[in-house]
Chain A
Amino acid sequence: GQQVMQIPQYQHVQEGEDFTTYCNSSTTLSNIQWYKQRPGGHPVFLIQLVKSGEVKKQKRLTFQFGEAKKNSSLHITATQTTDVGTYFCADRDDKIIFGKGTRLHILP
Protein backbone atom coordinates (compact mmCIF):
# COMPACT_ATOMS: atom_id res chain seq x y z
CA GLY A 1 0.00 0.00 0.00
CA GLN A 2 0.88 3.65 -0.12
CA GLN A 3 3.75 4.51 2.20
CA VAL A 4 4.37 8.06 3.32
CA MET A 5 7.69 8.49 5.08
CA GLN A 6 8.51 11.54 7.12
CA ILE A 7 11.86 12.81 8.40
CA PRO A 8 13.16 13.68 10.83
CA GLN A 9 11.20 11.90 13.53
CA TYR A 10 12.23 14.44 16.15
CA GLN A 11 13.66 17.92 15.93
CA HIS A 12 14.83 20.20 18.69
CA VAL A 13 15.45 23.81 17.73
CA GLN A 14 16.21 26.98 19.59
CA GLU A 15 13.37 29.45 19.58
CA GLY A 16 13.89 31.70 16.60
CA GLU A 17 15.63 29.09 14.48
CA ASP A 18 14.09 27.65 11.35
CA PHE A 19 12.64 24.16 11.07
CA THR A 20 11.93 21.86 8.13
CA THR A 21 10.22 18.50 7.91
CA TYR A 22 10.18 16.34 4.80
CA CYS A 23 7.61 13.91 3.50
CA ASN A 24 8.41 11.28 0.88
CA SER A 25 6.32 8.75 -0.96
CA SER A 26 7.34 5.74 -3.01
CA THR A 27 4.58 6.50 -5.49
CA THR A 28 3.02 9.59 -7.00
CA LEU A 29 0.57 11.32 -4.71
CA SER A 30 -2.71 12.75 -5.92
CA ASN A 31 -2.47 15.41 -3.28
CA ILE A 32 -0.97 15.87 0.15
CA GLN A 33 -2.34 17.39 3.30
CA TRP A 34 -0.47 18.66 6.34
CA TYR A 35 -1.78 18.47 9.88
CA LYS A 36 -0.48 19.68 13.21
CA GLN A 37 -1.10 17.93 16.51
CA ARG A 38 -0.32 19.82 19.68
CA PRO A 39 0.77 17.75 22.69
CA GLY A 40 -2.33 16.09 24.09
CA GLY A 41 -4.44 17.38 21.23
CA HIS A 42 -5.94 16.14 18.02
CA PRO A 43 -4.73 16.58 14.43
CA VAL A 44 -5.71 19.90 12.94
CA PHE A 45 -5.70 20.50 9.22
CA LEU A 46 -3.16 23.06 8.01
CA ILE A 47 -3.12 22.95 4.23
CA GLN A 48 -3.53 20.90 1.09
CA LEU A 49 -1.21 20.80 -1.91
CA VAL A 50 -2.47 19.50 -5.23
CA LYS A 51 -0.35 20.75 -8.10
CA SER A 52 3.13 19.65 -9.06
CA GLY A 53 5.67 22.17 -7.73
CA GLU A 54 3.05 24.02 -5.73
CA VAL A 55 4.20 26.37 -2.97
CA LYS A 56 1.85 27.80 -0.37
CA LYS A 57 2.53 30.07 2.56
CA GLN A 58 0.76 30.62 5.85
CA LYS A 59 2.53 33.38 7.74
CA ARG A 60 5.81 31.76 8.85
CA LEU A 61 4.95 28.36 7.35
CA THR A 62 5.91 27.46 3.78
CA PHE A 63 4.64 24.28 2.18
CA GLN A 64 6.03 22.78 -1.02
CA PHE A 65 4.94 19.92 -3.24
CA GLY A 66 7.64 18.32 -5.35
CA GLU A 67 7.66 18.44 -9.13
CA ALA A 68 7.16 14.69 -9.31
CA LYS A 69 4.46 14.81 -6.61
CA LYS A 70 6.38 12.28 -4.56
CA ASN A 71 7.63 14.57 -1.85
CA SER A 72 6.63 17.57 0.16
CA SER A 73 8.13 19.81 2.79
CA LEU A 74 7.02 22.14 5.54
CA HIS A 75 9.37 24.94 6.54
CA ILE A 76 8.81 27.15 9.56
CA THR A 77 10.75 30.39 9.74
CA ALA A 78 11.79 31.78 13.11
CA THR A 79 10.09 29.20 15.28
CA GLN A 80 8.03 30.23 18.29
CA THR A 81 6.95 28.23 21.33
CA THR A 82 3.47 27.99 19.83
CA ASP A 83 4.92 25.89 17.01
CA VAL A 84 5.52 22.98 19.39
CA GLY A 85 3.76 19.81 18.29
CA THR A 86 3.87 17.00 15.81
CA TYR A 87 3.52 17.78 12.13
CA PHE A 88 2.03 15.09 9.94
CA CYS A 89 1.89 14.85 6.21
CA ALA A 90 -0.91 12.75 4.83
CA ASP A 91 -1.69 11.18 1.50
CA ARG A 92 -5.21 12.31 0.78
CA ASP A 93 -7.10 9.70 -1.15
CA ASP A 94 -10.49 8.36 -0.18
CA LYS A 95 -9.04 7.88 3.27
CA ILE A 96 -6.05 9.58 4.81
CA ILE A 97 -2.85 7.71 5.50
CA PHE A 98 -0.65 9.66 7.87
CA GLY A 99 3.11 9.62 8.04
CA LYS A 100 4.75 9.06 11.42
CA GLY A 101 5.13 12.78 11.88
CA THR A 102 7.92 15.03 13.01
CA ARG A 103 7.81 16.06 16.63
CA LEU A 104 9.07 19.61 17.03
CA HIS A 105 10.40 20.72 20.37
CA ILE A 106 11.38 24.33 20.94
CA LEU A 107 14.20 25.18 23.31
CA PRO A 108 13.69 28.57 24.98
Chain B
Amino acid sequence: EPEVTQTPSHQVTQMGQEVILRCVPISNHLYFYWYRQILGQKVEFLVSFYNNEISEKSEIFDDQFSVERPDGSNFTLKIRSTKLEDSAMYFCASSSQTGRNSPLHFGNGTRLTVT
Protein backbone atom coordinates (compact mmCIF):
# COMPACT_ATOMS: atom_id res chain seq x y z
CA GLU B 1 0.00 0.00 0.00
CA PRO B 2 1.38 3.46 -0.88
CA GLU B 3 2.76 5.41 2.03
CA VAL B 4 3.68 8.93 2.95
CA THR B 5 7.35 8.99 3.86
CA GLN B 6 9.07 11.54 6.04
CA THR B 7 12.73 12.25 6.67
CA PRO B 8 14.51 12.47 8.96
CA SER B 9 12.74 10.49 11.65
CA HIS B 10 14.45 12.55 14.32
CA GLN B 11 16.07 15.97 14.03
CA VAL B 12 17.97 17.70 16.82
CA THR B 13 18.80 21.34 16.34
CA GLN B 14 19.95 24.28 18.37
CA MET B 15 17.67 27.18 19.12
CA GLY B 16 17.89 29.79 16.39
CA GLN B 17 18.86 27.34 13.67
CA GLU B 18 16.82 26.62 10.57
CA VAL B 19 15.45 23.14 9.87
CA ILE B 20 13.84 21.59 6.85
CA LEU B 21 11.53 18.66 7.30
CA ARG B 22 10.94 16.56 4.23
CA CYS B 23 7.97 14.57 3.05
CA VAL B 24 7.15 12.49 0.01
CA PRO B 25 3.37 12.30 -0.30
CA ILE B 26 1.55 9.44 -1.99
CA SER B 27 2.22 9.86 -5.69
CA ASN B 28 -1.28 10.47 -7.03
CA HIS B 29 -2.38 12.69 -4.17
CA LEU B 30 -3.03 16.35 -4.78
CA TYR B 31 -3.48 17.85 -1.33
CA PHE B 32 -0.78 18.08 1.26
CA TYR B 33 -0.76 19.00 4.91
CA TRP B 34 1.52 19.55 7.84
CA TYR B 35 0.43 18.88 11.39
CA ARG B 36 2.34 18.94 14.62
CA GLN B 37 1.88 17.17 17.91
CA ILE B 38 3.56 18.35 21.07
CA LEU B 39 4.24 15.39 23.34
CA GLY B 40 1.06 14.13 24.95
CA GLN B 41 -1.13 16.72 23.27
CA LYS B 42 -3.46 16.78 20.33
CA VAL B 43 -2.60 16.81 16.66
CA GLU B 44 -2.65 20.43 15.52
CA PHE B 45 -3.21 21.64 11.98
CA LEU B 46 -0.46 23.86 10.56
CA VAL B 47 -1.03 24.27 6.85
CA SER B 48 -2.66 22.79 3.77
CA PHE B 49 -1.25 23.04 0.27
CA TYR B 50 -2.72 22.53 -3.17
CA ASN B 51 -1.71 23.47 -6.68
CA ASN B 52 1.60 24.88 -5.50
CA GLU B 53 0.15 27.28 -3.04
CA ILE B 54 -1.05 27.40 0.53
CA SER B 55 -4.79 26.73 0.80
CA GLU B 56 -5.15 27.43 4.47
CA LYS B 57 -2.95 27.95 7.48
CA SER B 58 -3.47 28.08 11.21
CA GLU B 59 -2.42 30.73 13.71
CA ILE B 60 0.56 28.56 14.56
CA PHE B 61 1.87 28.85 11.01
CA ASP B 62 3.44 32.29 11.29
CA ASP B 63 6.28 33.89 9.35
CA GLN B 64 8.70 31.47 10.96
CA PHE B 65 7.26 28.67 8.85
CA SER B 66 7.17 28.08 5.13
CA VAL B 67 6.28 25.19 2.85
CA GLU B 68 7.46 24.29 -0.58
CA ARG B 69 7.00 21.66 -3.22
CA PRO B 70 10.36 21.98 -4.95
CA ASP B 71 9.79 19.17 -7.42
CA GLY B 72 7.12 16.65 -8.36
CA SER B 73 7.53 14.48 -5.33
CA ASN B 74 8.80 16.33 -2.26
CA PHE B 75 6.88 18.56 0.11
CA THR B 76 8.94 20.42 2.70
CA LEU B 77 8.34 22.37 5.86
CA LYS B 78 10.97 24.93 6.77
CA ILE B 79 11.22 26.41 10.23
CA ARG B 80 13.43 29.45 10.45
CA SER B 81 15.12 30.38 13.71
CA THR B 82 13.74 27.50 15.75
CA LYS B 83 12.53 28.05 19.29
CA LEU B 84 12.38 25.64 22.19
CA GLU B 85 8.60 25.47 21.90
CA ASP B 86 8.91 24.18 18.33
CA SER B 87 9.95 20.83 19.77
CA ALA B 88 7.26 18.42 18.66
CA MET B 89 6.42 15.61 16.30
CA TYR B 90 5.69 16.96 12.84
CA PHE B 91 3.41 14.90 10.63
CA CYS B 92 3.01 15.27 6.91
CA ALA B 93 -0.23 14.05 5.37
CA SER B 94 -1.73 13.84 1.93
CA SER B 95 -5.14 13.16 0.46
CA SER B 96 -6.37 12.40 -2.99
CA GLN B 97 -8.96 15.15 -2.94
CA THR B 98 -10.03 17.80 -0.53
CA GLY B 99 -13.43 18.42 0.90
CA ARG B 100 -15.68 16.15 2.58
CA ASN B 101 -14.92 12.62 1.57
CA SER B 102 -11.26 11.85 1.65
CA PRO B 103 -9.17 10.54 4.51
CA LEU B 104 -5.76 11.88 5.31
CA HIS B 105 -2.80 9.55 5.02
CA PHE B 106 -0.12 10.41 7.52
CA GLY B 107 3.59 9.77 7.45
CA ASN B 108 5.46 8.39 10.45
CA GLY B 109 6.51 11.86 11.48
CA THR B 110 9.71 13.73 12.24
CA ARG B 111 10.50 14.28 15.88
CA LEU B 112 12.06 17.72 16.18
CA THR B 113 14.02 18.48 19.31
CA VAL B 114 15.21 22.05 19.79
CA THR B 115 17.90 22.47 22.42
Contacts of B48 in A (CB 8 A): 94-95
Residue-wise interface mask of B (84-115) relative to A, using a CB-CB cutoff of 8 A (1 in contact, 0 not): 00000001000000111101111111000000
Contacts of A31 in B (CB 8 A): 100-101
A94 x B98 contact (CB < 8 A): yes
Residue-wise interface mask of B (35-51) relative to A, using a CB-CB cutoff of 8 A (1 in contact, 0 not): 00000011111001000
Tell me whether A78 is interfacial, beta carbon within 8 Å: no
Tell me whether B55 is interfacial, beta carbon within 8 Å: yes
Contacts of A44 in B (CB 8 A): 106
Contacts of A33 in B (CB 8 A): 103
Tell me whether A96 is interfacial, beta carbon within 8 Å: yes
B43 x A43 contact (CB < 8 A): yes
By size class, the interface of chain B is: 20 to 34
By size class, the interface of chain A is: 20 to 34
Binding stretch for chain B, among A14-22, A61-69, A97-105: A97-105
- Min CB distance, B44 to chain A, in Å? 8
Residue-wise interface mask of A (27-49) relative to B, using a CB-CB cutoff of 8 A (1 in contact, 0 not): 00011010001000111110010
A96 x B104 contact (CB < 8 A): yes
Known: A41-B108, A42-B106, A42-B108. A97 touches B45 (CB 8 A): yes
